[in-house]
Structure formats: C-alpha cells, structure tokens
Amino acid sequence: MRRVVNWFLNCFPGRRRRLERELELELRFHAERRVEDLVDSGLSEAGARKRAAFELDGFTPIREDVRAAWVPRWIDRCRLDLRYAIRTLWRSRSFTATAVLLLGIGIGATAGVFSLFDQVLIRRLPGVTHPERLVHLDWAGNSLSSSWGSGHLMSYLLCRELEDVEGLFDGVFCRHPTAVNVRAGERSTSVRAEIVSGSYFPTLGVHPSLGRLIGPSDDLRPGAHAVVVISYRFWADHLGADPDVVGHTVAINHHPMTVIGVSPADFEGVDLGAPTAVWIPAMMKKQATPEWDGLLDRRTAWMHVFARVEPGLTVAQARPRLQAWFKGLLDRETRSEDFPRVTEEQRRSFLASTIDVLPAAQGSPQLRSFLQRPLWMLLGTTFLLLLLASLNVAGLLIARGATRGQELDTRVALGASQGRVAGQLLVENALIALGGGLLGLLMAPLVTRVLLSMLAEDSTLSAALDARVVLFAFLVSLVAAGLFGVAPAVRLKRQSLTASLGQRSRILTGIGFRRALVTGQIALTLVLLVGAGLFVQTLTRMHGNVGFDSGNLVMVSVDPLSIGRSDSEAERTMRDLMRTLEDLPGVTSASVANTRMLQGGSSATTLTVLSDVGRAVTDGPVSYTRVGPGFFTTLGVRFAVGRDFDERDVRGSGGEQPSYRSIIVNESFAHRYFGRQSPIGRLVGFGSQPNTPTQTRIVGLVSDFSRRSLRDAELPQAFVPFWDGDSRNGTFYLRARGELGSTFASIQTSVGQLDPALPIAITTYDEQIGESMRTEELLASLSIGFGVLALLVSVVGLFGLMSFVVTLRTREIGVRLALGATRRDAIALVVREALIMIGIGALIALPMIWALGRLVEAQLFGVGAIDPATVAAASVLLAIVGLGAAGVPARRASSISPADALRFE
C-alpha cells in the first residue's frame, strides 16, 4: 500500500527532482570513498578514479534500476506519455478546444437525456423490498365494466379475491390515484392521494418512519376507517415535521380523518415521478372521491392491481396457474344473480377474458407510458448528435495527423516502436475524450433541467448528477474516443516508414477518409433536419385545429363536492355562479360545460341512430359533453343549422339516468351517420341494445372543433344539456373583453363572495392549448435545436475539408488557370465536389429518414411520416448552407495566381 502511494507521489516533478539530486550525491559519495580506498591500497589516483567509475557504471544501468524502484517502469512510461500528450494538446490549443467543445456538446446532451431515461425507464421503484418481483395484473378482454381512471383497471372486489389465490403471490394489493383536498389547521391544499387496499404497505414491504401504516385491519367496513398515512415530504413541508403528528386530525375533502403514521422518506407511492402525499384506505373511498362510489361494485373498474410473485416463481410460470383460477371465477360470476343481462355474444367474450401479468419493478406505468416514446426518441437523437460530433473530431484528428506525420515518423525513425507511438496517440485521444466528458457532465444537468421543465414539471424527477450518470458519461466518452480515435490509428498502422517518404500520397488517402466522414455528417444532419420539419408541421397543424378563436377565453373550474357540500348545495352554487359570472363587467358572454376542454378525458357512450336506412349503432363510443346554453357562441363555434339548447331540453331531473330531449352533434358526426342529409330532427338513443329507446332529437349542428385533444377535431362529437339535474361541478367558459388580469381578479372576488371556501382553478384557453401540446412543442423545439446544432457541426466539417482540398490542389488549379481555364471553372471545380458530397449524403440519408418516419409516426399529426416536401425542403436548405460553406474556399481557388501556384511547395 505504502509502495503504491509512493509510486504516485514520486511522479510529481518536485519530488522526482529531489530524488534524482540525492541519488547523484549518493553515488558520487560512494565513488569518492572507493577512490580513497583504492589509493590507500596503492593504486595511482588516476587509475583509482578510472576503476571506481567503471565499477559504478560499467555493468548495469544502475540509475535506471534505482528509478524503477521509485516508480515501476510502466507507470513511468504512462507518465511520460501523459506529460507529452498534455504538452502537445496545449501547443495546439485551438484544435483541442474545438474537439473538446464538440464532444462536450454531444456527451452533455446524451448524458442529460440519459439522466431522465434512467430515472423513468430503468430505475426500479425506490423504498420497496425486492421490486423486481412486483407484477401488474390487468383484465384482458371484455369485463362488462364501466371504468374510472386511466391505465389497467379492475374492481376492488376482484383485487380482494386475487389475494386468496394460493401458491402464486406473496401478496396482492390495489391502489387508485386521485387528488384530494387536505386541511391541516388553517391551511388547505390539493394534493395527490392514493386510495389503497389494506395489503398495499405489507405487500410492498414498506415500514413507517413514524406511527403505523394502513394495514388489513383498516380495510374491513365501508366508511368505518377514517385514518390516513401522510408522506414524509408532506409531513416535512406542510406540517413542520411535527413529531407528535400521529393522532392528529386532518380534513380530507372536509371529512375528519386521523393521521396514523408517516411513510419513510424514500417511498412516495408506486407512481414514479408523481409522488403521493396522502394514503387513504379503500373503505373511505366515498369520502375521498365524493362524485362517485362503486367500491363494492363488481362491474366498476377503478383500481390498479399489483402482486408480488412468490420467490422462485417466474412470471411465465405464474400466468397459466392464474388463468385456471380466473376461469373458475368468471364461470361463477356469470351464474350469480347480480350478473348483468347481456347478449350471448357479450357473455362469450366475457368468459374468454384472461388476466395479463406484466412486470412492474418500476411501479405504475403512468409516467412511463407518457414519457417512454419521447425519451427513446431523445436518446436516439442525442446519440446521432454524439456520432456527428465524434465524426467531426475524427476529421480534425486526420487533418492534424497529416501535419503531424513528420513528427511521428521522426519518432519511429529514432527508435520508438509503432506500439509506443500508437500508445502516445491513444493517450492524447483519451485526454480529449475525458475533457469532452467533463464538459459534458457540466452541461448535463442543464440539459436535464430544460427537459424537465418541458416534460414533467411537477414530478420528482431530479436534474442532479448521480453516480450512474457520471458512469454513463464516462462510458460514452470512451465510446466516442473509440469512434474518433480508431480511424486515425488504423491509418497509422497501415503506413510503413517508407510510405511516409511519399508525403503526398498519404495526405490524399487521408482526404478520401475525411470526405467519407463529411458525407456521413451531411446524411445525419439531413435526417435531423427532416425530423425537425415534421415536428414543426405537426405543431402548426395542431394549432390550426382548435376550431375557433381562443384569445380572451377564460376557463374557471369548480367542484363544490370536493369541500363536502351536499348535492343540492352544490347544484345551487353552480347556478348562482353561472348568474354571477355572466353579469361580470368585462365578460361579453359566458357558459358552462361538465369538463375542461383539451384535458384528454370525456364521457363516451355508444349511440343508436335512426336514419333513412333504419336503425344503426355508432362505430364505437361517441364522446359527449354536457354544455350549457350559449356554450358554442361563447367559444365562437359556428352553428351550421339548428338551434342552441334552452331550458326546454331537459325532461325532468333526478332518477337513474337523466333523459335528454335534445342533442347537438358536430359536422363529422352528421357526415358519418347521415351523409349529405340534414341531421336536424333525427332521433338518437343512448345505448346499443335492440330495445334502446330513441327519444332524443338532434336540434343543432355545429362545426368541428377540438374537444379532448388538438388531434381529435374530426371525430364525431355529441353535446347534451348541462343543466340536467346532475350539475354539481364543472367548468365555466368566459369570453372576456380587454385586459384579462382584471377579469381574473373580479372572477376571484365574486366566487369568494359566493362561497369563500370554494377552490377554483382559472386558466386562459391559450394556456390550456399550450399545456395540451407540451409534448409536441417539446419535440418541435428540441428537434429544431438538434437540427441547428447538427447543421452547424457539419458546416464546420465541410468548410474545413473544402479549404484543405483547395490548399492541396492549388498547384493543379494554377496549372489549369495557366492553360486557359477560367476563374469560373476553378469555382465549379470546388463547388462540384461539395455538391457531390451533399448528394451522396442525401442518398445515404433516405433509408434513415424512412426509419425515422416509422419511429415518430405516432407523434405526428397532419403530416405523413414520409413527406417528400419536407425531405425536399430540408435537402435544399442543407445544399444552400453547404454551398455557402464551400463558397469561401471556392473563391480562394478562383483567385489563385498561376505564377504563385507553380512556385507553391
């Protein structure tokens, strides 16, 4: 150990110099004593000196052996290589800086994207024991259920029954993510919550940091377990890390519940990136989600079901055994009394259902399914950029190798082995790569932060560097060093000493290689430019798809039920609010709908349509929205024919299913089911059974506009009256005049006067548009960014190469000019070469563009994955910029004086 430390210390120049000086003194002392002794024994002084000197240096290289005792020879050699490499790189600072910068950009972008990729797609659920054994269970087939929420949903009862399956699982649990209002003391906030079964914490293997967690004893009788577990973060941020918090009461949606414990700091639920603040027992579902219940309804699917596979059992083994059990369950269900009356076909498809067993080591796939594609695309793009940067550095190295040829040859001629020279180059490349890697690490958190702000603002994903990102950056640097270092090294190996005598031929082989590299860069750049073109077009097409003027439109969402108001109170509040908001100064018109537009969700149902050809059922569920009178006028959606809703349109209120007297459809709906005929006056019914009553009359036809997302303007849509006796929450839409800030303020004051406790969410419609196009905007701005970077990098490469070509061919061009070629011919010579490279690059790019198109198809809108116009435009842009880069050297070629050129060299 001591020795290894010394090896290292002895490498420092100061210490090394002292060692050398002392060795010299030590050996001189030895020699002098020897001379004295020899003289004493009778030798002449001169003879003694000669003998002593011979003994000292005659046989062995004593100094070399002593130095090897200080530092082993191989380390010493590396040290020298390193010192030499640093000196060489420092001498050509501009080259080094360019190479490090290029690599830093490439590595920084790649590592920054990897940081997110790792957190979302690779890393396992934190705070959970053996996450690799967790699986997600999903009903595959027709479950005859209505569903609440998104993702793979099953009923609570099915989850409990799965717990009883023997010999497969070490536990089964279910959870439903939602948002609740929490009031602790005076402060009230809306937070993410999970409604969980009693098996949730035991199965995950999570232990409390305070108090106890929800267990099976909290999962017995509906409404009887008013307890909550709060997250460590919520405890620290909102409750001041109060050590006596256990036993305190908080209000969840105005229902008092007792805090029984605090989760450990590293566990925040099973949805990575969307941390849970409060866990509520499933039995308290009615209090947690006041607008709907269905806890003990077999046909309501709302829970994400997870299980822990027994050790030693693989998913493949578990699957068939689970199916056998499931078959029996389905069979029993169809024979039970409360099984819904269905057609024979529906019964068959129900009985054919299976349960999917999906790996869930990373928890709930919500965030993952949203980010998976963008992240893969980003990672691919950044690798392209890195490849581009590496190719460029390889080009720089070859250009440098051409001028360094003589230095290297001299070293070989003076006795350095080829291996030593290659090793020397390797050290230089490693230093460049390491420099690039370090710069990349500095840039990576910035890249991650920018991506986070665009992708997942309110998630817990972190932009900080961690060991895995550092390791990744290091590996990527090595790969890059391999990429850019191999080319010059291979060339070095190929050439023998004699070949270097013919300097010119060698430089020319280098040129061929650089040409190939630049062509490759042009191809990659074209791919990135085409990608940018596709995403930008997607963005503009979607912006044009709103369907009306979105300026000065304000949305106000309220939910009186969330603060514990009764149904009748809530309905009264909604009506009062409608009247107040209509009369606000600065509001030209106002209306209401049951949901927020462009938020993704909506109710949908299959409709029975009576047309000229008879009774027909819609192709699938048609999304329908409940809207108040004046909704379309407020938005600015045109009525093609017919009229708006008024108070006559609701037939009675209350009851199981409100029955609508009237319905309004959009043009796509009319076109799909009535062709060219007017839909006004036609009858439709809610449902698809042969006996579904068709008593709802189409009274209006509105032009198409985007409802759930900006991609769905051309889907059939239906609208029914909002005030149907079930109007207890919703979103108001206000068309404002003039300055929005004051409108916002007056909205807040008037809502506050009506019900001070009522939380409201106000946004402009333009903000909602921006929110719904976050992914598309991200892709567009990123692809433009990458496209421009790539263009820049390859223009630098092209410019460098063409300048080099002109220098090399100065003599030839001079001769041609002397023999009568015009200046224009000289320019053409250079430009032609550049054009050939761009053309070949474009040809190479075509299959890559095709592959890219397949990859991003799902993200595009309104433009084909293979869009000839985009490819053409990108190629023209590339050609113009490329010719611009070649133009400067071309002009230089044209101004060559024949006389000077012939003197050249």
Partner 1 sequence: MTDRLTIPQGTLDVLLLHIISLDRAHGYAIAQRIEQVTGDAISVTQGSLYPALHRLEQKGWLRSEWRPSDTGRSAKFYSLTRAGRKRLAVERDGWDRLTHAVQLIFNES
Give the bridge partners for 719, in sequence order.
625, 664
Residue 6 binding partner 1, by CB under 8 A:
yes
Phi-psi group of 241: left, alpha or beta (phi > 0 → left; psi -120 to 50 → alpha; rest → beta):
left
**Minimal distance in Å, beta carbon 72 to partner 1?**
10
What gap in Å lies between CA 701 and CA 699, rounded to an integer? Answer: 7
Residue 53 binding partner 1, by CB under 8 A:
no
For 231, the token pair is 């997250």
**Minimal distance in Å, beta carbon 11 to partner 1?**
13
**Minimal distance in Å, beta carbon 70 to partner 1?**
6
Residue 27 binding partner 1, by CB under 8 A:
yes
CB of 543 closer than 8 Å to CB of 791: no
Stretch that binds partner 1, among 20-28, 246-254, 504-512, 782-790 (CB under 8 A): 20-28
CB of 7 closer than 8 Å to CB of 72: yes
Residue 36 binding partner 1, by CB under 8 A:
yes
What gap in Å lies between CA 584 and CA 306, rounded to an integer? Answer: 50
**In terms of DSSP bridges, do strands 227-230 and 255-262 run parallel, antiparallel, or are they unpaired?**
parallel
| CA-based nearest residue to 478, from 386, 376, 385, 399 | 386
**Minimal distance in Å, beta carbon 235 to partner 1?**
54
| DSSP element (H, E) containing 663 | strand 662-666
**Minimal distance in Å, beta carbon 49 to partner 1?**
15
Residue 54 or 850: which CB sits closer to partner 1? 54
**Minimal distance in Å, beta carbon 277 to partner 1?**
58
| CA-based nearest residue to 388, from 527, 513, 512, 511 | 527
CB of 601 closer than 8 Å to CB of 695: no
Among residues 11, 39, 66, 604, which is the contact residue for partner 1, using CB under 8 A? 66
Helices (H), 185-310: 200-204, 232-238, 285-288
Residue 75 binding partner 1, by CB under 8 A:
no
| DSSP element (H, E) containing 249 | strand 249-252
Residue 2 binding partner 1, by CB under 8 A:
yes
Q: How far is CA 264 from CA 205, 210, 248, 259, 487, in A?
A: 11, 8, 18, 15, 53
CB of 427 closer than 8 Å to CB of 85: yes
Residue 344 binding partner 1, by CB under 8 A:
no
**Minimal distance in Å, beta carbon 41 to partner 1?**
13
Residue 29 binding partner 1, by CB under 8 A:
yes
| CA-based nearest residue to 612, from 661, 682, 670, 666 | 682
Residue 87 binding partner 1, by CB under 8 A:
no
Residues 6+ apart with CB under 8 A from 179: 190, 191, 192, 193
Residue 6 or 509: which CB sits closer to partner 1? 6
CB of 354 closer than 8 Å to CB of 141: yes
**Minimal distance in Å, beta carbon 6 to partner 1?**
5
Among residues 11, 43, 68, 784, which is the contact residue for partner 1, using CB under 8 A? 68
Residue 51 or 661: which CB sits closer to partner 1? 51
| CA-based nearest residue to 431, from 106, 796, 110, 84 | 84
**Minimal distance in Å, beta carbon 32 to partner 1?**
7
Stretch that binds partner 1, among 61-69, 113-121, 318-326, 594-602 (CB under 8 A): 61-69
Stretch that binds partner 1, among 55-63, 90-98, 216-224, 714-722 (CB under 8 A): 55-63
Residue 76 binding partner 1, by CB under 8 A:
no
Residue 33 binding partner 1, by CB under 8 A:
yes
Half-sphere exposure of 124 (CA within 13 A, CB side): 13
Residue 65 binding partner 1, by CB under 8 A:
yes
- Judged by CB under 8 A, the chain residues 660 through 689 that form the site for partner 1 are none
Residue 25 binding partner 1, by CB under 8 A:
yes
Residue 73 or 903: which CB sits closer to partner 1? 73
Residue 6 or 188: which CB sits closer to partner 1? 6
Residues 6+ apart with CB under 8 A from 668: 704, 714, 715, 716, 717
CB of 473 closer than 8 Å to CB of 107: yes
Among residues 14, 41, 59, 87, which is the contact residue for partner 1, using CB under 8 A? 59
**Minimal distance in Å, beta carbon 33 to partner 1?**
5
Among residues 69, 140, 464, 869, which is the contact residue for partner 1, using CB under 8 A? 69
Residue 62 binding partner 1, by CB under 8 A:
yes
**Minimal distance in Å, beta carbon 420 to partner 1?**
24
Give the bridge partners for 182, in sequence order.
189, 252
CB of 816 closer than 8 Å to CB of 828: no
Stretch that binds partner 1, among 63-71, 200-208, 441-449, 534-542 (CB under 8 A): 63-71
Residue 19 or 835: which CB sits closer to partner 1? 19
Residue type for 884, please? G
**Minimal distance in Å, beta carbon 801 to partner 1?**
52
Residue 24 binding partner 1, by CB under 8 A:
no
Residue 3 binding partner 1, by CB under 8 A:
yes
Residues in contact with partner 1, total (CB under 8 A)? 25
Tallying the residues shown for the chain, one arrives at 905
Stretch that binds partner 1, among 22-30, 471-479, 703-711, 856-864 (CB under 8 A): 22-30
Residue 29 or 84: which CB sits closer to partner 1? 29
Residue 5 or 858: which CB sits closer to partner 1? 5
For 350, the token pair is 């129900």
Residue 4 or 836: which CB sits closer to partner 1? 4
Residue 68 or 470: which CB sits closer to partner 1? 68
What gap in Å lies between CA 352 and CA 370, rounded to an integer? Answer: 30
Residue 56 binding partner 1, by CB under 8 A:
yes
Q: DSSP for 578-645?
A: HHHHHTSTTEEEEEEESS-TTSS--EEE-EEEEETTEEEE-SSPEEEEEE-TTHHHHHTPPEEEE---
Among residues 15, 26, 551, 613, which is the contact residue for partner 1, using CB under 8 A? 26
Give the bridge partners for 310, in sequence order.
none
**Minimal distance in Å, beta carbon 34 to partner 1?**
7
Stretch that binds partner 1, among 3-11, 472-480, 691-699, 778-786 (CB under 8 A): 3-11
Stretch that binds partner 1, among 56-64, 189-197, 297-305, 821-829 (CB under 8 A): 56-64
What gap in Å lies between CA 870 and CA 864, rounded to an integer? Answer: 10
**Minimal distance in Å, beta carbon 242 to partner 1?**
56
Residue 40 binding partner 1, by CB under 8 A:
no
Among residues 35, 38, 70, 787, which is the contact residue for partner 1, using CB under 8 A? 70
Stretch that binds partner 1, among 57-65, 91-99, 129-137, 407-415 (CB under 8 A): 57-65
Residue 861 binding partner 1, by CB under 8 A:
no
Strand ranges in 60-208 using DSSP code E only, listed in sequence order: 134-140, 146-147, 169-184, 187-196
CB of 391 closer than 8 Å to CB of 483: yes
Q: How far is CA 47 from CA 44, 56, 57, 62, in A?
A: 5, 14, 16, 22
Stretch that binds partner 1, among 65-73, 302-310, 429-437, 711-719 (CB under 8 A): 65-73
Residue 23 or 434: which CB sits closer to partner 1? 23
Residues that bind partner 1 in the complex, under the rule CB under 8 A: 2-3, 6, 10, 22-23, 25-27, 29-30, 32-34, 36, 55-56, 59-60, 62, 65-66, 68-70
